[in-house]
Each structure stands twice: as C-alpha cells, then as structure tokens.
C-alpha cells in the first residue's frame, strides 16, 4: 500500500531530516514510527499525503506516485492527523470542519449530512457539533480532528502523536477506535505503550534513517536496541 524508495529530504535551511529511507507497508498493517526528538518522524510521515514532496527518491501510495500532479488522488487515499489538532480545525463550527472535506470532493449535501452525523456520533462529538473548534478542550479537539479525517474514508490513516492530549479514559477509547479501523495505519508516537497496543510492526528512526524495523513486541522489548536509539522500554515492561 505504501512504498518509500530512497527518500531523502532537507529543509530550506539545509537541515537534512530524512536520509535515504526505504520502507514498504502492506495493506491493512499498522506500523509505529518511533524515535527520539528530531529523529525525522514527522518529516517522514508528512510526506505520505504530499504535505512535503521528496527531495530525492520516491513514494507511492496504492500504486499512485506522490507528486504535485497526483495530490488530489493522494489526499483521497491518505488521511493525515497533524501533531497539533489546531492545524486541522479551521472553521467556526465543528460540523463545518467535518463537512469540509466531503464538500471539497463534490459530495451532495444530503449524503454529507448523513456521513458527518454518523462520524460525529461515533466519536461522541454530536452534541458539540455547533461549537467553534477553538472552544473545544484539547482532548475534544483531538477526536474532532479524527472526525475530519475519518469522514473522508481514507485507505491509509497517518497519526502524528495522537495520544498527546488524552486522559487515560480517552486514551483507552482511542486505542479501541484505532484497533477497530481495518485500514492501513501509520502512527508516530513517543507513547510506546500506545504503539504496543495498536501496531503490529515498529520502525525506529534515528538521525533521519530507519535504525530498526520489526515486529512490535520484539522491537519494543529490546532494551539495548531502544537505549542505543535514546528510547526507553514501554512503561508496562519497566514495571516487570
């Protein structure tokens, strides 16, 4: 479903954030991207819906090359949840944010109304539909940004630090939600327990490269490997 081939990317100031990354992700799998601050995780996943375009190398999603001329098709395939929900919510009313994507696709109003209500109800946001997103709590904003992505029925969902604002109960709710999605999932997180609960494969990034790639339980229980990449065991293993 995702094929990244020799991807490198530098920011305009010269910072090399991605250094020759090659990665294939099969349809329906759930891959966690972990690594210390500044390792290149956000830069990598922001390439998956064309937010950044490759400096060198190539990416394709579902066989479609990520490039400027294919961006509309890529945006239909890949839903990206930004690290900061405020970057995702920009209208004056939650409902309008959720309806925005389907409207852009040209869906008719009646279908949008049915779809938006379904997604808002599933995420327990229906009662908040008339609120300005700016007035929602951080946790509510997090689920609201999920709603704007899920309403588009993407084939791939990319989540950047999805648990950062959530209390334990909502974190559990998010784990259940993510595990109920039968689509390809890419999750960037410092919350290795969340990765443990939601991903079947983990890649460790270090200095713009993939330093390790394997099954979640193997990678996340390898203390030596984690420490070599400035990471720690998931909390559940630290307590053993």
Ligand X SMILES: Nc1ncnc2c1ncn2[C@@H]1O[C@H](COP(=O)(O)OP(=O)(O)OP(=O)(O)O)[C@@H](O)[C@H]1O
List contacts with ligand X (CB under 6 A). 11, 13, 15, 17, 35, 37-43
Q: Are 55 and 225 in contact (CB under 8 A)?
A: no
Q: Which is nearer to ligand X, 40 or 154 (CB)?
A: 40
Shortest distance in whole angstroms from residue 121 CB to ligand X: 32
Sheet holding 16-25, edge to edge: 16-25, 2-10, 56-61, 64-65
Give me the least distance between CB of 58 and ligand X, in Å please: 19
Q: Which three-class secondary structure state does DSSP give residue 94?
A: helix
Name the nearest CA neighbour of 31 among 208, 176, 212, 169: 212
DSSP 67-83: SGGGHHHHHHHEEEE-S
CB of 86 to ligand X, least distance (A): 16
Question: Shortest distance, CB of residue 188 to ligand X, whole angstroms?
Answer: 6
Is the Cβ of residue 155 or residue 165 nearer to ligand X in the bound state? 165
**CB closer to ligand X out of 10 and 91:** 10
- Considering the complex, what minimum distance in angstroms separates the CB of residue 233 from ligand X? 18
What one-character DSSP code corresponds to residue 139? H
**What is the distance between the alpha carbons of residues 90 and 101, in angstroms, rounded to a whole number?**
12
Buried b / exposed e over 109-138, threshold 16 CB at 10 Å, is eeebeebbeebbeebebbebbebebeebee
Distance of closest approach, residue 162 Cβ to ligand X, in angstroms: 13
What three-state secondary structure class fits 23? strand
């Amino acid at each position: 479903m995702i094929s990244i081939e020799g991807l490198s990317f530098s920011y305009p100031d010269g910072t090399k954030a991605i250094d020759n990354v090659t990665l294939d992700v099969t349809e329906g799998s759930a891959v966690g991207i972990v690594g210390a601050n500044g390792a290149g995780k956000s830069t990598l996943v922001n390439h998956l819906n064309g937010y950044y375009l490759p400096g060198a190398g190539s990416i394709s999603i579902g066989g479609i090359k990520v490039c400027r001329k294919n961006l509309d098709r890529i945006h239909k395939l890949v839903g990206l949840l930004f690290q900061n929900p405020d970057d995702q919510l920009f209208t004056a009313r939650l409902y309008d944010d959720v309806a925005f994507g389907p409207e852009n696709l040209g869906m008719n109003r009646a279908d949008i109304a049915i779809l938006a209500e379904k997604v808002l109800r599933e995420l327990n946001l229906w009662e908040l539909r008339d609120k300005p997103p700016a007035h929602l709590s951080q946790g509510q904003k997090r689920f609201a940004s999920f709603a704007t992505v899920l309403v588009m029925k993407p084939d791939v969902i990319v989540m950047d630090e999805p648990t950062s604002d959530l209390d334990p109960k909502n974190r559990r709710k998010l784990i259940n939600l993510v595990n109920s999605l039968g689509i390809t999932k890419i999750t960037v997180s410092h919350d290795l327990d969340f990765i443990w609960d939601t991903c079947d494969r983990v890649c460790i990034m270090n200095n713009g490269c993939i330093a390790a790639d394997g099954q979640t339980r193997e990678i996340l229980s390898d203390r030596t490997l984690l420490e070599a990449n400035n990471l720690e065991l998931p909390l559940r293993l630290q307590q053993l």
